[in-house]
Structure 1
Amino acid sequence: MSSLLPVSNTALDRRALKHVQVREYVRGLVSGAAPGSPAPSERELVQQFGVARMTVRQAMDALVADGLLERIPGRGTFVARPKRSASRITGYTEEMTRRGMLAESQTLLARREHAGPGVARALGLTEGDSVIHWRRLRRADGVPMCIEDAYLNEILLPGFLQGGMPTSLYDLLTSRGLRPTWVEDSVSADRATAEEASLLEIEPQGIVMRHSRRALAREKIVEVSRGVFRADRFTLWVQLGQED
């Protein structure tokens, strides 16, 4: 990384801005290099291209912004480490698609109800307020995977029960500007009830995972759901950690 290749007149577009020439030269030089490898110094690039230091700084700033390079104070500029991110918030349909499976849903119940104390508290409503209760049997590649009960604030979703039910709740929330930006999940192991075992096509008293979610779109609570998953078919996958 310390030696620079000669600049070919044919390799650079004469009409390009000088900082673009420098930027693309450095990009080609460091692409594929191991994270932590040193980038060429600004002094080297000034000499190589015969340009002002400000021009070189502009080119390097662009590569830092792109995530290709990172600056370490007191040490220099290096090839950046891959960025890590937390798990993306997804609904069932998106999650199954990500796993390469075909998601299907069968509505078992869709109606307006009066919120009980637990649902009211979770949705930030008063007990007895009107909520939408949507119960579905969720399949993946034709195999029963989950029974899900979703409770929704009807005020936020007017007309939800009119017409056909949406294929994906999260797609509908997104279309209404209510895509969840924060969720609180809890998971526990349990044995299936007789009804759950029948719907999921598992042995009576079979082991299931109970998954509860409270989803918010910024400050608005948009969904409270309870899912019962087949433990022999579904693995919960999350990313946890912190930057060094």
Structure 2
Amino acid sequence: MTTSPGAADRVVEGPTPKHAQLREILRRTVESELPPGAAIPSERELAERYGVSRLTVRSAIGKLVEEGLLTRVRGKGTFTANRRMELQLYLMSFTDDMRRRGLVPTTEVLGTTTEVPPTPNRTALGLAEGERAYRLRRLRRADGVPLAVERGWYHAGRVPGLFDLDLTASLYTQLATRYGIRFDDARQTVWAESADRETARLLGIRTGGPLLVFRRVSRVRGAPVEDMTSWYRGDHYQVTMQLDRNSPDFGHLARHGGTR
């Protein structure tokens, strides 16, 4: 960032709140001078440079974080946000997807249990009432940045001993190796959601921050094996779909006002 503010980049007394003035100054600087992933000066440095309080700086930065222009990394500082990644709508593991992008994927296992799933998940997996399933919860990172929380269910009868696998590695690769399972069909539902306190804590974002949520029921030869819901950071991802007027999806989106 520039070492001293010019005439157009000063915070002055007036009808526009100082935090709003500073926010626009920072926005212009980020968009015109800084590449993705660049660190911005500390709150103290910005307060001294623009002659405002640290509370004013915190407010301005907080708004830009909410907008996805900046991102905070706990213990490291605030950085310009990387360009949003395209979420793939085909069957590919998180590990393979991140490696394809040139990023280093890591996985933290948050919990494993064997229990009777709620009715929607039991129905999706084709389980009998009272039948138990494997429940797996994981946090996925790329280059150390938390990107997604996964909470899902697996049909225990089709993947016995699932928890004996290395759950920090690519599960799809291990399912193929150990069980001969290569998913050939899936039904996926996508929606937007605000982060609850627990998910926000895991992803390092504010409670109420934007999330893209994907629920995917994956099958092999028509038999459901996986019912996985993934919460992705809305400031790091976007979804793009190619539609044409003859596509069934186009008509569905048009009826729901989604063609914008």
* Cα pair 2:109 2:168 within 8 Å, conserved: no
Is it true that 1:212 corresponds to 2:221 in the alignment? no
Larger Rg: 1
More helix by share: 2
Offset, 1:238: 5.2
Instruction: Give, in whole Å, the separation in 2 of the partners of 1:239 and 1:92.
Output: 22
For residues 123-179 of structure 1, the C-alpha deviation after alignment (integer angstroms, 9 at most, x for no partner) is 011232110001001111110000001210011111122364351111122112111
Identity %: 31
* Cα pair 1:173 1:179 within 8 Å, conserved: yes
Give me the CA root mean square deviation.
2.1
Match of 1:126 among 125, 128, 132: 128
Structure 2: gaps of 5 or more residues? 1-87, 248-260
* Cα pair 1:87 1:239 within 8 Å, conserved: no
Instruction: Give, in whole Å, the separation in 2 of the partners of 1:181 and 1:240.
Output: 23
SS at match of 1:195: helix
Offset, 1:235: 2.5
Q: Tell me which amino acid in the other structure corresponds to 1:172.
A: Q
Match of 1:187 among 181, 186, 190: 190
* Cα pair 1:110 1:134 within 8 Å, conserved: yes
Q: How does 1:93-242 map to 2 (within 5 A)?
A: 93-162=95-164, 164-165=166-167, 167-175=169-177, 176-237=179-240
Label 1:190 to 1:222 Cα distance change in 2 as closer, same or farther (>3 A). same
Instruction: Give, in whole Å, the separation in 1 of the partners of 2:243 and 2:222.
Output: 23
SS at match of 1:161: helix
For residues 1-51 of structure 1, the C-alpha deviation after alignment (integer angstroms, 9 at most, x for no partner) is xxxxxxxxxxxxxxxxxxxxxxxxxxxxxxxxxxxxxxxxxxxxxxxxxxx
For residues 39-83 of structure 1, the C-alpha deviation after alignment (integer angstroms, 9 at most, x for no partner) is xxxxxxxxxxxxxxxxxxxxxxxxxxxxxxxxxxxxxxxxxxxxx
Q: Tell me which amino acid in the other structure corresponds to 1:236.
A: V
Q: Relative contact order (alpha carbons < 8 A, sep ≥ 6): 1 or 2 greater?
A: 2
Offset, 1:115: 2.1
Structure 1: gaps of 5 or more residues? 1-85
Instruction: Give, in whole Å, the separation in 2 of the partners of 1:236 and 1:126.
Output: 35
Label 1:239 to 1:124 Cα distance change in 2 as closer, same or farther (>3 A). farther
What's the counterpart of residue 91 of structure 1? Answer: 93
TM-score, normalised with respect to structure 2: 0.56
- How many residues are aligned here? 158
